């Protein structure tokens, strides 16, 4: 079954992706892929750390939900199978350059503004930086990179999807899931 972004958001149960481990294809949720330390296919470990750091500051729980593994997996898929929000925003693929440029701009702007690495920011500093990033390019943000507010929107959207995009996530929040049309059964992604 091919899954759409809407299908992912309305799906029941756990969202799984196909990963190649030890020469075998296995189905894992992004959180399971993170827990198993599944190797990244497109992004580097440093880029994954930045995605998890910023994504978790924007949407608490995104790191544990496997945000970096989700983004990496989606960057490794074909355009027609890609579930990242950027696909629907008029950005031409491939999308890995968008993330690389934005993460570099984020890292450089933090360095210029605080003279620190992003991982060394205090919680209030990170909150202030994100607030600024939502509104405009912070000082030091590379003009060749996508605008900071656009990157914030894209990362936030994907973090929300991976963190809260299933019925199980709603159950975890103790919020009744009220689908317009309830899925007949839990689904799995067959890639």
Does residue 9 belong to any structural domain of this protein? no
Range of the domain at 157: 40-163
Tell me the sheet residues that pair with 20: 25
Dump pLDDT digits (tens) for 75-124: 988 888 888 999 999 899 999 999 999 999 999 999 999 999 999 999 99
Q: pTM of this prediction? A: 0.80
Tell me the sheet residues that pair with 24: 21
More confident residue, 186 or 33: 33
Mean pLDDT over residues 155-184, rounded? Answer: 74
Does residue 182 belong to any structural domain of this protein? no
Dump pLDDT digits (tens) for 30-52: 888 898 898 999 999 999 999 99
Does residue 88 belong to any structural domain of this protein? yes
Does residue 26 belong to any structural domain of this protein? no
* pLDDT at residue 9 greater than cutoff 50: no
Other Cβ atoms less than 10 A from the Cβ of 162: the count is 29
Other Cβ atoms less than 10 A from the Cβ of 14: the count is 18
Tokens linked to 64: 């544990």
Burial class (CB in 10 A: 0-12, 13-18, 19+), 142: middle
Highest mean pLDDT out of 8-12, 108-112, 178-182: 108-112
pLDDT of residue 97: 95
For the ranges 9-18, 96-105, 143-152, 163-172, the lowest mean pLDDT is seen at 9-18
Number of domains in the chain: 1
Closest CA to 74 of 59, 95, 57, 89: 95
pLDDT of residue 180: 57
Q: Give the span between the Cα atoms of 123 and 86, in whole angstroms.
A: 27
Does residue 60 belong to any structural domain of this protein? yes
Question: pLDDT tier at 126 (50, 70, 90 boundaries)?
Answer: very high
Tokens linked to 5: 């972004």
Q: Give the span between the Cα atoms of 117 and 3, in whole angstroms.
A: 38
Does residue 31 belong to any structural domain of this protein? no
Does residue 62 belong to any structural domain of this protein? yes
Mean pLDDT over residues 125-139, rounded? Answer: 97
Does residue 46 belong to any structural domain of this protein? yes
């Amino acid at each position: 079954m091919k899954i759409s972004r809407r299908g992912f958001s309305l799906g029941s149960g756990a969202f799984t992706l196909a990963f190649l481990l030890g020469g075998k294809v296995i189905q894992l949720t992004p959180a399971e892929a993170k827990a198993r330390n599944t190797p990244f296919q497109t992004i580097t470990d440093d880029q994954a750390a930045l995605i998890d750091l910023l994504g978790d500051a924007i949407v608490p729980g995104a790191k544990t939900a496997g945000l970096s593994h989700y983004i990496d997996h989606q960057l490794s898929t074909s355009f027609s199978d890609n579930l990242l929000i950027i696909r629907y925003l008029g950005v031409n693929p491939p999308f890995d350059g968008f993330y690389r440029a934005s993460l570099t701009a984020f890292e450089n702007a933090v360095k210029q503004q605080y003279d620190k690495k992003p991982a060394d920011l205090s919680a209030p500093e990170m909150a202030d930086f994100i607030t600024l990033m939502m509104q405009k390019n912070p000082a030091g943000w590379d003009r060749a990179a996508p605008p900071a507010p656009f990157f914030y929107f894209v990362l936030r959207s994907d973090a929300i999807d991976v963190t809260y995009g299933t019925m199980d996530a709603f159950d975890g929040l103790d919020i009744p899931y009220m689908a317009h049309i309830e899925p007949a059964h839990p689904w799995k992604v067959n890639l």
